[in-house]
Structures are given as C-alpha cells and as structure tokens.
Amino acid sequence: MPPPMLRNSRPEFGGMLLGAVAIVLASTALGLTVNHFSASPLPVLVQVKGEQLPLPPGITALSLLDAKRMYEANEAPFIDARQPDWYAKDGHIPGAINLPADSFEKRFLAQADRLEAAPKLVVYCESSDCGEALATVERLKEAYQGQILLYVGGWLEWSAAKYPTRKGESP
C-alpha cells in the first residue's frame, strides 16, 4: 500500500484552541502547586479592600489635589504603606516614609521623633483598593495621637498625574 499522501495541514481551530486551553490550565496548575509548596509561597490573590468599604473612624480621605497641595506646602509627612521592594523599585512620593504594616514597629521607631511631632500624617498605598494603607492606619492609630489622612488614589494616581516621584530605598 502506498504511504498516505501528505496534505498541507490547515489549522483546525477547534482542536488547536482546546489544546491551548489545556496547556494554559495545566501550566497554571503547575505554577500554583509549585508556589504552594515553595519555601515562601506568594499569596495567590492580593488582599485588597474595595473603596466602598467605610474608612476607619477618625480617618479623613484625601483627594489627589488635596494630597498635592499638602505635599507642596510640606504640611504633613507622607507614609508609603507598600512593600519595600515596590517603594524602592517602582518609586514613591519624594520624602514619603516607607512604613508597611508587617514591619511597622522597627520602622516606626526609627522615625518616631519626626512622626510623633507632626500634627498630621498622610498615608497611601498602591491605589484606592489596596488594603496596605488601611493596615498601616490601624497600626498608626495605636502609636500616634495626631490626625491621620488617607490619600485614597495612592501611588498609581500620583504617578499617572506625573507629579514628582523618586526611586530607591531612601525617602
């Protein structure tokens, strides 16, 4: 019997798509499994809190323009509640003190004199729906007596507005 004729294979899209979905699902499952059993697993979903959540009692929300005005008037120290890596590599509002909730004590003590002397503090994180600023606010309420303002739009809004930014570990 002669060998079967080779025919140019036009894509059979259904089968191709099914295979592609299988590849994506299998490799995602592989990634999640490896992450789960790794020495320091990354949380799969970042815990974020929607902006519809009420602000903690005693906390005032700050708009972009208010935050800009306070920054220019040097009216209050800014607190960046994001992880140090994001603070240093993506950048931050110049002068902002990096104070993530999970290393709060050490970092707060290092800046305690300056922070406790300020009548107001402005706290921000990545954007309006990141929970990091709220977590830092909760810690601040225990250690700080002045007024706490939450700059809701955060880093994404500030940098998109092309306002001053700075990179690196120092404020």
Partner 1 sequence: MTRARLEAWLSHPAVGAACRLLLGGLFIYTGATKLTHPAEVARFVNGYRILHPELANFAGIALPWVEVVAGGLLALGIAPQSAALVLGGLLVTFMGAGFLALVRGLDIACGCFFPFLGGDRLNWMLLPRDGVLLLLALQVMWWPSTFLRRRPAAVAPAEERL
Residue choice 27, 60, 63, 103 for contact with partner 1 (CB under 8 A): 27
| 5 in contact with partner 1 (CB under 8 A) | yes
Shortest distance, CB of residue 146 to partner 1, whole angstroms?
29
Segment lying near partner 1 (by CB under 8 A), choices 53-61, 86-94, 107-115, 139-147: 86-94
Beta-carbon-side half-sphere exposure of residue 76 (alpha carbons within 13 Å): 22
> Distance of CA 78 to CAs 20, 71, 99, 125, 139, Å?
47, 8, 10, 11, 15
| 161 in contact with partner 1 (CB under 8 A) | no
Size of the site for partner 1 (CB under 8 A): 45
Shortest distance, CB of residue 107 to partner 1, whole angstroms?
20
Cα–Cα distance, 56 to 141 (Å, whole number)? 10
Q: Are 150 and 137 in contact (CB under 8 A)?
A: yes
> Distance of CA 170 to CAs 52, 95, 106, 126, 130, Å?
33, 8, 16, 18, 23
| 53 in contact with partner 1 (CB under 8 A) | no
| 20 in contact with partner 1 (CB under 8 A) | yes
Q: Which of 59, 53, 98, 68 is nearest to 160 (CA)?
A: 68
Near partner 1 in 128-147, by CB under 8 A: 129-130
Q: Are 124 and 78 in contact (CB under 8 A)?
A: yes
Residues of the shown chain interacting with partner 1 in the complex, contacts defined by CB under 8 A: 1-2, 4-12, 15-20, 22-24, 26-28, 30-32, 34-35, 42-46, 48, 85-86, 89-90, 126-127, 129-130, 156, 160, 162
